[in-house]
Structure 1
Amino acid sequence: MGGRGGANTKRNGHEPAIRNNKKRITSSQKIENRTRLSVIISVQQDEATIKRVLQQAKRLYPKEILFVVNGCHDRSLDIILNHSFYSMTTYVYPFPLGQDMWRAIGAQEATGDVLLFLCGDKVIRAEELQPFASACYRDVDVALRKTNKIPLSETREISTLVLARRYLNSLFDRHELGVSSMNDLPFAIKQPAAATIGFHHLHIPPLAHAIALEQELRIGNSHSIIDEIHVGKSSAGLNRRKQSLTSLGDYLEAFSYIKEKSLKKRT
C-alpha cells in the first residue's frame, strides 16, 4: 500500500512531521474533509455531551459521520436522531459491545480515505481535531494524540500501563512516541492502513498499534489537546480500574503478537 513507502522515519531519529494548525479550519481543508474524512463516534451514556460532540464533528464538514451506539439507556440516541446532516449513519446495539469493539465496526462501515475516531463523552473543538485528519492527508498513516502521561490517579495498574506503552514503542525504536498509543482518542488513520492492520484488530488498540509498528506504517504524534469536558459516568473510579486492567491484558496480547512474529522470522 502507498502508506508504507519510505515508512518508519524512526531510522533517522525523527517522527513524521505533523504541523499544527489549531487556529481555524480553512476552506480548502473543509473541501478535502468533504470528500475524504469519515468521523466515527462511540456513544454510550453520553446525553450530557453528545450534542456538542456532534456539533464539533459537523464543523469539520466531513464526508460522513458514523455513530456506534451500544448499551445506551439514556437520551443519547434521541439527541442524535433529532439532528440532521447530509451523511450521518447510526448503528445501534442494545447491549454494551465492550470497550473498543465500536472502532472495528465503524472502520468496516466507513467509506472515507481517512478515519477519525472520537468518544461521545469528550467535547473537543473542531479546530483541535482538524490536525489529525490533515496529518493523514499529508505524510502519515496514523496520527496519534500526543500523550505525555496517563491522566488517571496513580495506581499499580496505571504505572504498569505507562511502562507497557513506552516499552511497546521502544521495541521498534520509536522512543519519540513516548507513551502515545492508539488507545487514546482522538486519533486518525488512513483507510488502507486500517485494512493493513486488519479492521477486526482495531478493537484491541495495543495490538493494532503493535501491528502498525511491525508493518512499518508511518506513525506520528499530533499535538496534545485538552478535553473541553469529560463527564464521568457512575462508579467512574471502578470503571477506570477495570479499563486499565483490560488495557494491560491487551498489551500482553500485543507483546505475544510481536514475540510470535519474531519467532517466525528466525525459522
Structure 2
Amino acid sequence: MTGAPDEREPLVSVIIPAMNEESTIAKVIAEARRTAARCEVIVVVNGSSDRTADIAAASGARVLVYPEPLGHDVGRSIGAGAAKGDILLFTDGDIVISAKRLFPFVKAVGSGVDVALNRYSGAVKKRRPHPVVLSKHTLNLLLGRPDLHGCSMTTVPHALSRKALETLGGEILSCPPAAQARAVLHGLRVEAVHLVPVGRMNVIRRKRGGRDPLADIVVSDHLQAAAVMLERLGERAGYSDGSRRREMVR
C-alpha cells in the first residue's frame, strides 16, 4: 500500500548553482534528493548554453533560470532566498557528492549547529600553500577560531540553519568568508562537522595569463570578511595595541 504524498513544507532545501553542467546535474540532484524524505532541490541555472535547466527540471528540481552568468556564489544567495526548508544545504552542480557524504551536514544542523562546514582545510603541507588556503586559515585565526583551521563557507558542501539565514541575511552568502565572519561575530554555532575531500573531486579550472581569476576573487572575499570584522570590532578587530603609547609620538 502506498502512502499519500507528504505535502508538508520541506525540511531540507538543497541549493545548487549551475552553469553548463548537463553532464553531472542529474546525478547531483539524485544524491541531493536522498538526504531527507522532505527535501526540495533548487537549481539556480545561470549563463548556461546547454541542457542543464531541462535536465534539472526533468530530475525533479525547482529550477530558477538566469540567461546571463550571475558571478561567483550569487546563485547561493538567490537559492537561499527561494528556499522553504529549515535546513539549507549548499553544493555545486559540477561535483557529484553522495547522499552518504551530504547527510552529516543535514544531521549536524538538525542537532543544533547553525553553520555546518566541510572539514576540508586544503593542501597545507606544500612548501608554498595556495593563497586561498592561507586566506582561510588567517581568517579563522583572526576570528578567534583556530580550531576551524582552513574550514570555510567557500567550500561545499556546507549547511545553514534557518536561524543562521535570518541572522546573516541571504545577500551576504554571495561572499562566503564575510558570511562566516558575521556568523562567528554574532555568536552562531559554527562547526566543522564532516570531511568531504573536494580538492580531489573538483574540476581543474583554466588559468588566464598564469593567474587563477577564481582564486583572486576568493582572496578578495576574505579581505571583505576582514572589513566586516573591523566594522564590528573596531580598527584593530578587537585585538590589543599592547604597551604602545602612540600619544607620545610627535
1:14-53 alignment, distance < 5 Å: 35-53=10-28
Correspondence for 1:26: none
Higher relative contact order (CA 8 A, sep 6+): 1
**Equivalence for 1:57:** 32
Work out whether residues 166 and 179 of structure 1, in 8 Å CA contact, stay in contact via their aligned partners in 2. Answer: yes
| Per-residue deviation, residues 40-99 of structure 1 (Å, max 9, x unmatched) | 11111111111110111122234311110000111211211222x3xx311000010001
List gaps (5 residues or longer) in structure 2. Answer: 1-5, 239-250
Distance 1:230 1:170 in 2: 27
Instruction: Give 3-state SS (helix, strand or coil) of 2:113's partner.
Output: coil
Counterpart-to-counterpart distance in 1, 2:163 and 2:43: 21
Aligned pairs for 1:219-258 within 5 A: 219-227=190-198, 230=201, 232=203, 236-238=206-208, 241-258=212-229
Q: CA deviation at 1:229?
A: 8.3
Q: 2:56 aligns with which of 77, 80, 88?
A: 80
Distance 1:46 1:231 in 2: 13
Please say which of residues 255-264 and 99-108 is displaced more in the overlay.
255-264
Mapped pair 1:67 → 2:43: yes
In structure 1, give the amino acid aligned to 2:26. Answer: K
Q: Give RMSD over aligned pairs.
A: 2.7
* 2:120–2:197 Cα contact (<8 Å) kept: no
Does structure 2 conserve the Cα–Cα contact (< 8 Å) formed by 1:38 and 1:114?
A: yes
Tell me, yes or no, if structure 1 residue 166 matches structure 2 residue 137: yes
- The residue correspondences of 1:145-224 to structure 2 (distance < 5 A) are 145-150=118-123, 159-224=130-195
Q: Provide the rounded CA distance (Å) in 2 between the counterparts of 1:189 and 1:35.
A: 15
Q: Hey, what does 2:72 align to over in structure 1?
A: 99
CA–CA separation in structure 1 for the residues paired with 2:127 and 2:175: 22
Change (3 A) 1:201 1:155: farther
Q: Which amino acid aligns with 1:99?
A: H
Unmatched tracts of structure 1, length 5 or more: 1-30
Residue of structure 2 in register with 1:5 after alignment: none
Deviating above 4 A after TM superposition, structure 1's stretches of 4 or more consecutive aligned residues are 227-231
Deviation at 1:228, TM superposition (A): 11
1:228 and 1:255, CA in 2 relative to 1: closer, same or farther beyond 3 A? closer
Residues in 2 aligned to 1:254 and 1:36: alpha-carbon distance in whole angstroms: 30
Instruction: Name the CA shift for 1:124/1:228 in 2 (closer, same or farther; >3 Å).
Output: farther
Q: 1:13 aligns to what?
A: none
Q: Which of the pair has more CA radius of gyration?
A: 2
Q: Secondary structure at the match of 1:67?
A: strand
Contact 2:123 2:133 in 1 (8 A): yes
Give the drift of 1:176. Answer: 1.1
Aligned match of 2:63: 90
Alignment partners' CA distance in 2, 1:48 and 1:240 = 27
- For 1:183 and 1:214, the matched residues in 2 are separated by 18
Query: Percent identical across equivalent pairs?
Result: 35
Deviation at 1:237, TM superposition (A): 3.4
Residue pair 1:68, 1:106 contacting (<8 A) in 2 also: yes
| TM-score, structure 1 normalization | 0.78
Residues 44 and 69 in structure 1, CA contact (< 8 A), matched pair in contact too:
yes
CA contact (8 A) 1:121 1:230 kept: no
